[in-house]
Amino acid sequence: MTEELQTGIIRISDDVVATIAGLAALETPGIAAMSGGISEGLAKRLSGKNAQKGVSVEVGQLEAAVDLRIIVQYGIPIQEVCRQLQENVREALENMTGLHVVEVNVKVEGVAFKEEETSSEEIARLK
């Protein structure tokens, strides 16, 4: 995005837009992680430091479109999580950048299961 003002030009990098979208996605309840995509092998769990993974954006002068690849938590209705995700990403981008978000496409690439916690007795038995 580039905006010319009387005082100069404001430019927002595509990477910044992708980072905002990724962080908003990771903050959405029911999203276990972002996915690096099939081409990168198995889906990877990513931290906020690498929030651009699983996010691609097309940014114009006034509008943006976002594609997200995600992993959802098992047991949560996928449609509801995805609708909330679309709303959160749209709101974050519009509020922070001033861009009009024309679409937020979501591709669910996996389901994450909660890992069972190992009891101290099991750990002692394994030693």
In a domain, 64, yes or no: yes
Q: Predicted confidence band at 7 (pLDDT cuts at 50, 70, 90)?
A: confident
In a domain, 17, yes or no: no
- pLDDT > 90? residue 110: yes
Q: Count how many domains the chain has.
A: 1
**Domain enclosing residue 77, as ranges:** 27-35+51-112
User: CA 110, 115, 116: angle at the middle one, nearest 5?
Assistant: 150
* CATH code of residue 59: 3.30.70.1350
SS3 of 52, please? coil
In a domain, 124, yes or no: no
**67-81: string of b/e by CB count within 10 Å (b at 16+)?**
bbbbbbbeeeeeeeb
pTM above 0.95, yes or no: no
In a domain, 123, yes or no: no
